[in-house]
């Protein structure tokens, strides 16, 4: 009876930690829509989301310094022409500390990072497209545009910006169509793995619970 109770308690901790943990939302349909808007004419750019990778880096789940951003981007997975978008719990640094930051991308480059909850929210497509825009060579542009430095509900790209995008080495073509390859990278506190044996399950749950309590301290 005691064991069952402990397991139930641990299970609730596990659930709590999973609702806190980073998760992937690719927003592929929203991205395709943004990269095929009117300014792209009859040459839309298809956003192709590839296989996800999971990296175990507990210290990078909550990013507070530019050095941590550099460490994250230094782990690029795959070819240089493949964009990595990293999903973390929180990011509060991108050229300086600011708690309002919810995403950060190399300009230009092939890595960007976003907060999981914002990527999954109403501004998710806008956020991912904005950071991808930096990777493609776009700077900030104040106003009702995608590249406005704050999320504003607008996803407009000018003809000039589309021209910059087309010249990015990230844009692939077979002569007929154009696309950008993106692989999601999920940052996790520990490897997700199947657990079946009760003793192992309990240890796993307890250590997850410890991490959760430590993080909230
Ligand atoms: Zn930006």
**pLDDT above 70 for 5:** no
**Is the overall model pTM greater than 0.85, yes or no?**
no
Only one residue has tokens 């501004």, namely 123
Instruction: Answer for the pair 93, 65: CB distance below 8 angstroms, yes or no.
Output: yes
Alpha carbon of 3 to ligand 1 centroid (Å): 50
Question: Which pLDDT does position 193 carry in this prediction?
Answer: 61
For residue range 111-165, list pLDDT tens digits in order: 999 999 999 999 999 999 999 999 999 999 999 999 999 999 999 999 999 999 9
Residues forming beta bridges with residue 172, ordered by sequence position: 179
Alpha carbon of 105 to ligand 1 centroid (Å): 7
Task: Kindly report the CATH number that applies to the domain delimited by 23-188.
Answer: 3.40.390
Instruction: Answer for the pair 35, 45: CB distance below 8 angstroms, yes or no.
Output: yes
Alpha carbon of 148 to ligand 1 centroid (Å): 7
In this structure, the number of other CB atoms found within 10 A of the CB of residue 35 comes to 24
What is the mean pLDDT of the segment spanning 19-33? 87
Alpha carbon of 123 to ligand 1 centroid (Å): 14
**pLDDT above 60 for 209:** no
User: Strands, DSSP E only, in the chain?
Assistant: 45-49, 53-56, 62-63, 83-88, 90-91, 103-105, 111-115, 172-173, 178-188
**pLDDT above 50 for 215:** no
Question: Which pLDDT does position 51 carry in this prediction?
Answer: 94
What is the mean pLDDT of the segment spanning 194-213? 41
Alpha carbon of 50 to ligand 1 centroid (Å): 24
**pLDDT above 80 for 6:** no
Question: Which pLDDT does position 192 carry in this prediction?
Answer: 77
Question: Which pLDDT does position 20 carry in this prediction?
Answer: 55
Alpha carbon of 30 to ligand 1 centroid (Å): 18
Only one residue has tokens 């022409």, namely 81
Alpha carbon of 134 to ligand 1 centroid (Å): 7
Instruction: Answer for the pair 147, 138: CB distance below 8 angstroms, yes or no.
Output: yes
Q: Residues of CATH 3.40.390 domain(s) within the chain?
A: 23-188
For residue range 50-68, list pLDDT tens digits in order: 999 999 999 999 999 999 9
Region of residue 68 (left: phi > 0; alpha: psi -120 to 50; beta: else): alpha
For residue range 68-109, list pLDDT tens digits in order: 999 999 999 999 999 999 999 999 999 999 999 999 999 999
Alpha carbon of 72 to ligand 1 centroid (Å): 17
Alpha carbon of 4 to ligand 1 centroid (Å): 49
**pLDDT above 60 for 26:** yes
Q: What is the CA radius of gyration of the chain?
A: 19
Q: Confidence band (pLDDT; 50, 70, 90) for 35? A: very high
For residue range 128-143, list pLDDT tens digits in order: 999 999 999 999 999 9
């Amino acid at each position: 009876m005691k064991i069952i109770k402990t397991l139930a308690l641990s299970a609730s901790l596990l659930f709590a930690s999973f609702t806190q943990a980073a998760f992937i939302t690719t927003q592929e349909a929203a991205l395709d829509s943004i990269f095929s808007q009117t300014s792209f004419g009859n040459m839309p750019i298809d956003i192709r989301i590839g296989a996800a990778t999971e990296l175990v880096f507990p210290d990078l789940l909550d990013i507070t310094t530019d050095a941590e951003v550099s460490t994250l981007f230094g782990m690029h997975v795959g070819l240089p022409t493949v964009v990595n978008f990293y999903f973390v719990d929180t990011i509060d640094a991108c050229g300086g500390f600011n708690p309002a930051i919810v995403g950060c991308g190399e300009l230009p480059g092939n890595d960007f990072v976003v907060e999981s909850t914002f990527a999954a929210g109403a501004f998710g497509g806008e956020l991912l497209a904005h950071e991808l825009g930096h990777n493609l060579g776009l700077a900030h542009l104040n106003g009702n545009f995608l590249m406005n430095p704050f999320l504003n509900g607008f996803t407009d790209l000018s003809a000039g910006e589309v021209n910059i995008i087309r010249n990015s080495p990230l844009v692939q073509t077979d002569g007929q169509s154009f696309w950008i390859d993106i692989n999601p990278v999920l940052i996790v506190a520990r490897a997700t793995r199947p657990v079946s044996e009760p003793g192992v399950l309990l240890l796993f749950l307890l250590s997850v619970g410890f991490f959760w309590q430590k993080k909230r301290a």
